[in-house]
Structure formats: structure tokens, C-alpha cells
Amino acid sequence: MIVSRARPLVVGDAFGHAACAECDARTVSVCDALDTADLSRLAAVAAQRSLEKGRVFIEEGEKAADFFNITAGTVKLFKLLPDGRQQITGFAGPGYFLGLAVGETYAFSAEAIEPVRLCRFSRPRLYALMHDLPALEARLLQTACNELVTAQEQMLLLGRKTARERVASFLLLRAAAAAPCSHRQTEIRLPMTRAEIADYLGLTIETISRVLSRFRADKRIDLPTPDRVILTDRPWLEDLAAGNLEHV
């Protein structure tokens, strides 16, 4: 449930740019790399869309025709095996740039797990713009490197961490993702279901639930509702996530 915040009415100097001026994701997205004039050019090739929860808007193997920039809500990025096994490779919130694909087709699928708003860019148009705006290309490279680092961290988690370490890492990751909004908060919101957490961490629903219950019993976290978590012992969680404990 995204709070639909009241937005100030802004009269833009260019079509589309008005939307950028009031965009919540403006300062944390690739758009931040551009000055006002160039942002207008970017906005000119963008189209805004709203997606209801559950909507799949990228399908693995489809022709990669568009890039996306999330401005509100959360999406999951995932890959499937023929028998239905699912691996979620990441959750993308406001500011996330999406669609960096090699070759002609998407390598993953994407689904809105909440109501989502996003900007859509046609691939050839964005490429053309990249050619003109080195700052944009540099920013995308930077974004890709960030993702790469995140992906490597996730491989360590999936390949070598225990269930408890994975869940601790996940909670801290969520806290970090929410941090830019209001610093040092101990309470986090989980917009995804247990099944989605499980598919992200390479575990099962039951294991997620059990580990969270155990954390609560040990007074490391609190769970007022299933989708709200309060980190009551963050140092301990950090040690666990880093692999410093695991004899406890």
C-alpha cells in the first residue's frame, strides 16, 4: 500500500518535464545525472504508466524493446525454471533503472508486487540519446556496476550463507534501501510476501517464517504485523549477516 502523496502542481517548461519536476524518484535515479535542459530531452522520449499489483511487464526471452525507470512502488525481478521454481534476483523500488539487457531479449521477468508507476523509454531512442549525452551513458555504467556488486554479494549469500544469515542480511538490506528516506530508522516495511522473500533468498516460506519467529523469540526483532519489522538488536543482526556468529 503506497501512500499516494499529494503533489504540488507544477507548470513545466517542456512537455513531460513537468512530470519530472514532481517526480519522487527524480533525485535518486539516472535522471539526476542530467541538467534541466538535457532532462527535457530525456523526458521527451519517456512515457508514464501505472501498473496494478501482479502485473508482469517484462518477460524473460521477450524482445527487449523498452527501458523502465520506477518512480513509485516495488517490482520483483525474477527468473523461472520450466517446472516453476523461481529465483528473484532483486527488488526494485523508486529510482531503479531497469532493462539493461544484453543482445535482443530480456534475461529476466519483472512483476509489480505493489501498485507501481514508471517511466518507459523506447530502447532505440534511449540509445540515440546516450550517444548525445555522455553524462547519461556514464551514469548507466555506474548503475550497472552497482548492480554487479549487489549481484556478487547475493551470490555469496545464496552459495555460502545459512538460512539465518540470509534472513539477517535481507532485513539489513531492506533497512539500507529505505535509509535514504529517513536515516537510522529501526522499523522497516516488507512489501513482499514470505513466498517472495523465500524466492529471493533461495529458501522456503516455512523457513522464512521460522527464522523470523526465532529472531523475535530471541528479542532480536519485533513483528507487530507480518509486513512490519522492528530491528531491536541491529548490531547482532549485522554480525550474523556478516558471518561472524553462527555457533549461537
Partner DNA sequence: GGCCTGTTTTGATGCCGATCAATCAAGCCG
Partner DNA sequence: CGGCTTGATTGATCGGCATCAAAACAGGCC
Interface residue list for DNA (CB under 7 A): 162-164, 193-195, 202-210, 212-213, 223, 225-227
33 versus 157: smaller Cβ distance to DNA: 157
One residue of 44, 47, 151, 179 binding its own copies per CB under 8 A? 151
Identity (one letter) of the amino acid at 166? R
The answer to the question of residue 202 lying near its own copies (CB under 8 A) is yes
Q: Which of 199, 201, 173, 200 is nearest to 188 (CA)?
A: 173
What is the enclosing helix (H) or strand (E) of 205? helix 205-217
CB burial readout 81-109, b (16+ within 10 A) else e: eeeeeebbbbbbbbbbbbbebeeeebebb
Q: Smallest distance, Å, CB 28 to DNA?
A: 27
Q: How far is the CB of 158 from its own copies (least distance, A)?
A: 4
Cα-Cα end-to-end distance for the chain: 37
Which strands sit side by side in the sheet containing 116-122, from one edge to the other? 46-51, 116-122, 66-72, 97-98
3-state secondary structure of 117: strand
What binding mask, one character per residue, do residues 34-53 give for its own copies by CB under 8 A, x or -? --------------------
Contact between 145 and its own copies (CB under 8 A)? yes
Q: Pick between residue 148 and residue 230 the one whose CB is nearest to its own copies.
A: 148
Contact segment (CB under 8 A) with its own copies among 39-47, 81-89, 113-121, 184-192 equals: 81-89
Query: Which partner, its own copies, DNA, none, binds residue 164 by CB below 5 to 8 Å per kind?
Result: DNA
How distant, in Å, are the alpha carbons of 30, 42, 86, 213 from that of 79?
25, 30, 6, 28
State the minimum distance, in angstroms, from the CB of residue 169 to its own copies. 11
Other C-beta atoms closer than 10 Å to the C-beta of 193 total: 14
Contacts with its own copies by CB under 8 A lie at 77, 79, 81-83, 85-87, 89, 100-102, 107-108, 130-131, 134, 137-138, 140-142, 144-149, 151-156, 158-161, 199, 201-202, 242-244, 246
